[in-house]
Amino acid sequence: MVREARKDDLDALLNLYLFLHEDSIPEHDQHLRDTWALITEDENHHLIVNEVDGQIVSSCVCVIIPNLTRNVRPYAFVENVVTREDYRGKGLATACLNYAKEIALKENCYKMMLLTGSKDPKTLRFYESAGYNSSDKTAFIQWL
């Protein structure tokens, strides 16, 4: 079942992110609680999860960004696409991305963007099959 995350999903998401690029779960300190509150209370920040048998096994984030160009239409940025290894290849992340696309369409976004650090051809084909391309834009990242 695909849905938006609830406040009580924090621990499940932190565990899922171990399959993304995290090597540990952050301490449950005030900074984590404040950040989680910001995310869950922001109407433009959509943390999408996919549950199987009551367990969150896939997720992505879709942020709607207000914009003054393109006829004052917003755009969507997708990040943190992840599925537990033992659930990959079952269409669960695709369902999350499709849910994000529905949100972007509802919000009248003119485009969706997604960055990946993966060079794995299988991962790149996955994003292409979800409707993304790597030919329209060039991405640059500055790590801080």
Q: How far apart are CA 135 and CA 9, in angstroms?
A: 36
Partner residues linked to 59 by β-bridges: 49, 82
Query: Would you tell me the crossing angle of helices 92-106 and 121-129 to the nearest 10 degrees?
Result: 40
- Predicted confidence (pLDDT) at residue 14 exceeds the cutoff of 90: yes
% the chain with pLDDT above 70 = 100
Give 57-83 pLDDT, tens digit per residue.
999 999 999 999 999 999 999 999 999
Mean pLDDT score of the chain, rounded to an integer? 96
What number is the average pLDDT over the span 54-58?
97
Give 88-120 pLDDT, tens digit per residue.
999 999 999 999 999 999 999 999 999 998 899
pLDDT of 138: 86
pLDDT of 21: 87
pLDDT of 48: 98
Residue with tokens 């997604």: 114
Give 15-50 pLDDT, tens digit per residue.
999 999 888 999 999 999 999 999 999 999 999 999
